Every structure is written in structure tokens, then in C-alpha cells.
Amino acid sequence: MSHQESLWQPSASIENLRLRAETLKQVRDFFTECGVLEVQTPMLGRAGSTDVYLNSMQSYCAGGGVSEPLNLYLQTSPEFHMKRLLAAGSGAIWQLATSFRNGEYSERHNPEFAMLEWYQPNYDLNDLMAEVQSLVEEVLGVNTFSCISYRALFNQNLNIDPFSAPLVELQRLATKNTGICGETLDRDGCCDLLMSACLEPLLGQNELSFVTNYPASQAALAKLKQDEAGDWVAARFECYYQGIELANGYHELTDAKEQAKRFAEDNQQRRSLDLPEVTADQHLVAALESGMPECAGVALGFDRLLMLKAEAKHLSEVISFAIDRA
């Protein structure tokens, strides 16, 4: 049978789809027990993520009862809508949201994927990391974990301080380790590359591994704080298991003005990089203005969690129909 002829078949085995259903039940039970409310928010929104390194897919709604045609973004995560629920007084919420990121396709990416996202009012990052740990323990049976700062991770493995090292040294290291033309990269670019090429593969070999205190420039929607060296860092963590990035958590930004500023800065950077600007979410800014509770939130790649559980090599092995056969 040729490849073309077999493309009607699912990319996941029926056994893995069964595992998927069982895991979803485990997750649902976990949150029910914690008293976290399950919600469903739109996959299409008038606004999208302005994040410079996320590409949104777009859709269009018109005709019938829609008098004004709408340009809609397929959401890259349910974050904005969920934060509006928090501001409206929902309390702790979770959902498994189908999310879309244009062009992201690899062994570990599918442009359409399942994001497990939840928010806990009055949690700090430590509370949330503990909760991620319990959930992963429940699903994967991993019961050890470690935590390291972004700075210490670079120091211990590459013998360089990502905050204070001269840019040329980071560029030299990136060139040496990956064969890239390093001088074309800025500080974040070098760090991103070293992270993905040299550091991520080392993380979470035997335990669930958390990385914290990212550079402030990589804050996205997290609060900023000063670390013990006096540098501004993002109150953010990433969680890895067996070299795979599994989750990304924030102590959430609640300041409406700062949020509006970050949207504007993102779009300014988009313009300078010749990337399309994205309609910023004014509803989110208004929700923050009205007052969103202090909270921590995390987005966990549900497909990746399954990939680890099923010991699969490719994300498509746990998705019924990956993009090449959708």
C-alpha cells in the first residue's frame, strides 16, 4: 500500500486513542477533586496573540445573520478568554482547549493541538509548580522533581551567565554548538538557541524538571520580579520531562497598563521584523482594568503529555489525525 493510499487512516493507533480518553478522564477527575471549574472558551476571537514568535491562523465570518464581516483569529491559547472569566469572578478554572499555531509542525508540534490550561487565584508559582507536579505524577507516575533557575542552568552546563555575559561570547557559543552564523542573533536569540540545542535535551531525564526566573525580555504575560543577583526576571516557569517541554506557567500579569504596553511593544517589534501586526485584545485590557485577581496560570501540552505516556516518538502518534492527514 502506498503512502498516499494509507493517508485515510488515523495517525494514532486505536490503543493510543483509548489512552487519550483514559488520560482525559484522569485529568477531569483531578480538577473535579481540586474544585476547579471546567470551562469552554471560543477558539475564534477578534483579537489574537501579539507574541512576536507566535503566528496565528486567521478565519473570516460573514453573511447570514452577520451584518458586519468579522476577521477572526484562531486562538494560539485560551489565555485571554480565560483571564476575562477570572476577572468576571469565575474562581479557579481549567479547560482542554484546541489551539492553533501557524507553521508549528515537527516531531513535537502539530499546528492544531490540545492545550491543557488552568488558573488558580491566590496561587504563587511554587503553589502552581506543586500542582503541576501532582497532575503529572497522577498521569505519568513520575514522583521526583527538580527546580533550577535559568541562570544556574546556563552556568552549570555551558559555563556562561546568560544575563551578564557579553553578547559576542553568547554568539560564539551558539556558533560553536549549532553551526549557526551566531553574529546574526541577539541575546534572546542566542539563549533560545542554546536552550533548545544544548540544554533542553538534558532536562528532566529522570525527574520532572522545572526551570524558573527567565530573563525579563522573555516574560510574555508574566509578572516581573528581581532575582537574588538584582536582575529583573520573569515570574515564569517551564516544566520539562525527558527533554520535552511540557508546560509553561506564569505568575500572571494583572496590571492593565503594563499589559497594553506589552501588546504595543510586540506590535512595534512585529513591524520592525516585517511581520503582520495582530489586533491586540482590548477586552483583556478592560478586564484587567476592572480587576483580575492575583493568580498563577499554566498551559500544558496535552498531546505531549500523552506522547510521553505512550512513549511515542512523534506527536502524531497520539493525535487521531495529524495535519498531514487532517
Partner 1 sequence: MANYSTNEFKSGLKVMLEGDPCSILENEYVKPGKGQAFSRVKLRNLNTGRVWERTFKSGESLEGADVMEYDMEYLYTDGEFWHFMLTDGSFEQHAADEKALGDTVKWLKEQEIYTVTLFNGAPISVAPPNFIVLEVTETDPGLKGDTAQGGSKPAILTTGAMVRVPLFVNIGDNLKVDTRSGDYVSRA
Interacting residues toward partner 1 by CB under 8 A: 51-53, 103-107, 109, 178-180, 184-185, 188-189, 191-193, 195-197, 200, 218, 220, 238, 245, 248
Looking at the DSSP bridge assignments, the partners of residue 215 are 233
Q: How far is the CB of 62 from partner 1 (least distance, A)?
A: 30
DSSP 60: E
Choose between 46 and 270: whose C-beta lies nearer to partner 1: 270
Q: How far is the CB of 146 from partner 1 (least distance, A)?
A: 17
Rounded to whole angstroms, the Cα distance separating 190 from 199 reads: 12
Rounded to whole angstroms, the Cα distance separating 47 from 279 reads: 5
Q: Angle, nearest 10°, between helix axes 256-272 and 282-291?
A: 160
Q: How far is the CB of 77 from partner 1 (least distance, A)?
A: 11
Q: How far is the CB of 45 from partner 1 (least distance, A)?
A: 20
In degrees to the nearest 10, what's the CA dihedral of 118, 119, 125, 129? -30
Q: How far is the CB of 24 from partner 1 (least distance, A)?
A: 25
Choose between 119 and 214: whose C-beta lies nearer to partner 1: 214
Choose between 62 and 181: whose C-beta lies nearer to partner 1: 181
Choose between 52 and 167: whose C-beta lies nearer to partner 1: 52
Rounded to whole angstroms, the Cα distance separating 65 from 62 reads: 8
Q: In terms of DSSP bridges, do strands 93-100 and 208-215 run parallel, antiparallel, or are they unpaired?
A: unpaired
Residues with Cβ within 8 Å of residue 218, at least 6 apart in sequence? 188, 191, 234, 236
Choose between 24 and 180: whose C-beta lies nearer to partner 1: 180
